[in-house]
A = this chain, B = another copy of it.
Amino acid sequence: MARAKRSAADLEAMRRRLIEAARAIIAEHGLSAVTARGLAAKLGWSVGAIYTVIPSIDAVTLEANAAELEELCEALEVQQAELTAAGAAPSAHIHAIGSAYLNFATARPRNWAAIFERDAEGEPPPWYQARQASLFTILERALSPITGAPHVTRRSARALWAALHGLLALSLAGHLARVADAAAAPKVDISGAPAALEDLHQHAQELIDTYLAGLEARLAKARGISAQ
């Protein structure tokens, strides 16, 4: 007979504390600083206690990433609902998504970089993929007034998402910001984070503009052909 001393609710509370501790460590010192001993020290737990709550450290970082995704997702839902209520144009919806995504990611650069740093071996679990998919759905909803046909919507959303992802990933990895910054403003950029951020946003907005312009041109052409 199992005598319950630690309720399911307690276990969930511990789980949340663990994940929040991981997010704090990532924010401060990056993904590689998330260790079993470090988490235990931060929480005042023993090392073994962690494993009564979650099966592995990798699962902790996965949950931390998922929490990041979820917060962005909620922020986007609210924002999109407001824009819809205000009767904003489709392109405004999409630009807003881009801005929010970049703001969110650059406000927590280490947490967001952690999402990209995950080991590529092995698929993420279905629930994690579903969480990513819900981000994707938001973009699809914003695009659908422009694209019309569902399969066009889906492919366009994927392409645009990937493009933004790439821009951000390169920027966070430090591969893009410095070169772009040096090109835009030939000043010394030792600590020019604000300038780089501005440039990143501008770059993203340009990319969205260009992609949408191309999309409309292609769709107009397709309509022209099917209309004759």
Contact = CB atoms under 8 A, between A and B. Distances in A.
A210 B215 contact: yes
B174 A158 contact: no
Given A165-B170, A213-B214, A214-B215, A129 B159 contact: no
A10 interface: no
Contacts of A214: 209-215, 217
Given A154-B183, A206-B155, A207-B159, A120 B119 contact: no
Interface in A127-182: 129, 132-133, 136, 151, 154-156, 158-159, 161-167, 169-170, 172-180
Classify the secondary structure of A's interface with B.
Answer: helix
A102 interface: no
A118 B210 contact: no
User: Which 6 residue pairs spanning A and B have beta carbons closest together?
Assistant: A166-B166, A214-B214, A163-B163, A213-B214, A162-B166, A210-B214
